A and B are shown apart, each in its own frame.
Chain A
Amino acid sequence: MAKSEAEVAQGPTVTAAGDGKGTAAHPLPDADTCRELLETMALIRRFEEEAGRQYQQAKAGGFLHLAIGEEATIVGTTSVMRPDDYLIGTYRTHGHAIARGTDPKNVMAELFGREDGCSRGRGGSMHIFDPERRFMGGYGIVGGNLPIAAGLGLASDYKGEDSVTVGMFGDGASNSGNFGETMNLAALWKLPVVFLVENNLYGMGTAIERHSAVTDLSRKAEGLGVPGVRVDGMDVLAVREIVSEHIRRAREDRQPTLVEAFTYRFRGHSAADPEVYRTKEEVEEWRKKDPITVFRDRLVAEGVISDEAVDEIRERVEKRVLEAVEFADASPEPPLESLYDHLYVVGDQVPGWYAVDERTPEPHRGEEEWEIGAAGEARKLAEAGAAYAGRQSSRGRGPEQTMDDRDAADALEDRDEDEPEEGPG
Chain B
Amino acid sequence: MFSPELIESLRQKLSLLSPSLVGLGFELMLAGVGLFLLLLDVLLPKKPVTFFWWVATGGLLAAGAVLAGAHFYFPVEETSYLLGKMLRITAETLYFKGLLGISALLTLWMLRGSAFFHRLDFPAGAFLFLFLSNVLGLSVLAMSAHWLSVYFSLELVSVSAYLLTAFHFEPRAGEGSIKYLLFGATASAVMLYGLSFLYGFTGTLEIFSPTFLQVPVSKHPVLGLVWVLALGGLLFKMAAFPFHIWAPDVYQSAPTPIVAFFSVAPKVVALWVLWQIASFLYEIEELRRLFSLFWAGVALLSIGLGNFAALWQTHLKRLMAYSSIAQTGFLLVVLVVPSPGGFSALLFYTTVYALMNFGLFWGIAKMASPEETLDCLAGKGREQVLAGGVLVLMAIALVGLPPTAGFTAKLLIFSGLWEAYQTWPHPALLVLFIFGLLNAAVFAFLLSQNSFLAFFQRKKHQRFAGKKYLILTCL
**Chain B associates with chain A:** no
- B-binding residues in A (CB < 8 A): none
Report which B residues bind A (CB closer than 8 A): none
